[in-house]
Amino acid sequence: MNSTRNHPQKGNKLEGLMEGREEGREEGIRASRFEIARNLKTMGVATEMIIQATKLTTEEFEHL
């Protein structure tokens, strides 16, 4: 038996929680990429290699 069928608000709440978790996960991955890029830049790694390794755009890298 599907309990969300009888309580549509529960289904909406669950869907919202799942979306929030996914957004949080994506934000965490993005923050990690920036941190790694900053560390590599400090180590003197070439810009193009950092961009390739972290999948940041050139514009994102320039704003480090």
pLDDT digits (tens, 9 = 90+) for 7-63: 667 778 888 888 889 899 999 999 999 999 999 999 999 999 999 999 999 999 999
For residue 7, the model assigns a pLDDT of 63
Does residue 58 belong to any structural domain of this protein? yes
Does residue 16 belong to any structural domain of this protein? yes
Does residue 49 belong to any structural domain of this protein? yes
Q: How many helices (H) and strands (E) does the chain have?
A: 4, 0
**How many domains does the chain contain in total?**
1
For residue 62, the model assigns a pLDDT of 93
For residue 17, the model assigns a pLDDT of 84
Angle subtended at Cα 46 by Cα 43 and Cα 49, rounded to the nearest 5 degrees: 110
Domain hosting 50: range is 7-62
What residue type is 51 in one-letter code? I
Does residue 1 belong to any structural domain of this protein? no
For residue 51, the model assigns a pLDDT of 97
For residue 60, the model assigns a pLDDT of 94
Does residue 2 belong to any structural domain of this protein? no
